[in-house]
Structure 1
């Protein structure tokens, strides 16, 4: 099988390499010359433009997009006029599933098949393989199967055709919402243990124990263990947590579907809270507490 990979950032580059090593012929494109050069040095063929990428591939073509969600629509505007009826486009990034439904319709008008693929695995996917949740027509999925079997941890697991177009990115959205909640629970638990100073707990040791036989063992715990072992006090890390959008979409969907999702919702709100260096809400709480109970208000420079 032959595949075009558009977007050679951390995920796209690693996926292209895994495909190449697994016997899939890959041609990569990225607007950044440095990214193309890194791919070429890894033995993966590259093209200097979208036009060159399409021309380098025999029809019917299969093109995999690994770009930020906001870049998918303008990219399709450039790409679809270059493709031919019967070609296939896969969006493997973290697009909102409702955008994927629109993108699929746009591709359908050009007689190009569309698959939305929720991709999990991060920077470890090159070595461990990727978890792939795919939405689309069965015929398009069958064409893509050889590549999916290479990208996944094994040919018979770690990937699935989960439903029609949109289903892949919907499942990945929920997956990331769950991830928010799991990460928040780990963070709160370790913060509680760190605060119990009289026990002088070795958090890396506790995390390592939990990794074996515990009901809370997971890959996230593996990563937490490594982090605590390397930097027990987490020095040099700002208490600022970004979100890339999937948690917000999950919470919005839960509200629309009347599904209670308090853990995911609160974990998202905690990420937003982490960005408030001088929280107005906390200062307001302190002032109200003083107003009704006469409790002292700590001045901004107390303890400095």
Structure 2
């Protein structure tokens, strides 16, 4: 069996290696010639015997759309394209319909596993026809973790279902990460807890909050105790926003995801405009001190109280 793999970044390169270990021939293409097996998409297609299977592992949006358009002109009827990136699920129908004009088949596949997938395997969520998914099953089996197929792979539904499932997965991930982060900050804030890292490590066995994310939190604290020097600036790659939009469209309350996503937005603001407004309002209605950015001018500086943790300075 052969596979063409487009995109050999942090995940794609490891996926190529894991699939090869399963005995499947992989021809990889990347714009970086240092990691690419061939010089162009044309060379990749020429190296595969028809009917071909080509897996796209590039950033969502224009890079994926452009790659699908290029493959539409290069592949033959009966070939199969799998999009394994983090594409927006509504794009899948557009890409599938475009390829169908030349009788080229399409499957979308949500992939979870990050840089650890090479050794641990990847969680996979596929969307497409039963026939197309079955055709690619040896590849999915090579990528998923060892053990029963259903523990690491799901045929989630029709085209778009795989990326929809991965989108929701990432939305849940946002909430879990933020819950651990809040717990870590509270433990660090209280002097009574002197071994925060050890406490987190103890949670990794036998407790109801154990998870792989918790294991990674312990690893992060081992590498950087108290997370000294780590910037709070946190990006988001889109899936959290899309999940929240779906919650709104379907009247599904998602306060945990909303809080986690908005916290990421806040992390990118050097000086939050919202909190500037709050500080100014507190100065107006309660005479509370308003600290200025140049640290030189205060409004009603005599009103600045000394606040102990847990006390409130709001007027009663």
Which residue number corresponds to residue 21 of structure 2?
A: 21
Q: How many residue pairs end up in the alignment?
A: 293
- Contact conserved, 1:203 with 1:232, CA < 8 A, in 2? no
Which residue number corresponds to residue 241 of structure 2?
A: 248
Shift in Å at residue 110 of structure 1?
A: 1.6
**Distance in 2 separating the partners of 1:26 and 1:33:** 16
| TM-score relative to the length of structure 2 | 0.91
| 1:208 aligned onto 2:201 | yes
Match of 1:135 among 123, 127, 137: 127
Moved segments of 4+, more than 4 Å: none
Which residue number corresponds to residue 118 of structure 1?
A: 110
Match of 1:193 among 187, 211, 235: 187
Which residue number corresponds to residue 169 of structure 2?
A: 175
Q: Which runs of 5+ in 2 are unaligned?
A: 297-316
**Distance in 2 separating the partners of 1:97 and 1:236:** 37
SS at match of 2:290: coil
**Structure with the bigger percentage of helix:** 1
Match of 1:159 among 137, 146, 153: 153
Once the two structures are overlaid, the 10-residue window that deviates more, 144-153 or 231-240, is: 231-240
Which residue number corresponds to residue 66 of structure 2?
A: 74
| TM-score relative to the length of structure 1 | 0.94
Shift in Å at residue 9 of structure 1?
A: 0.5
Which residue number corresponds to residue 11 of structure 2?
A: 11
Which residue number corresponds to residue 40 of structure 1?
A: none
**Distance in 1 separating the partners of 2:41 and 2:192:** 60
CA RMSD of the aligned region, Å? 1.1
SS at match of 1:217: coil
Shift in Å at residue 20 of structure 1?
A: 0.4
User: Structure 2 matches for 1:259-278, cutoff 5 A?
Assistant: 259-278=252-271
Name which structure has the greater RCO, CA cutoff 8 Å, separation 6+. 1
Match of 1:92 among 61, 84, 99: 84
Match of 2:277 among 263, 278, 284: 284
Q: Which runs of 5+ in 1 are unaligned?
A: 37-45
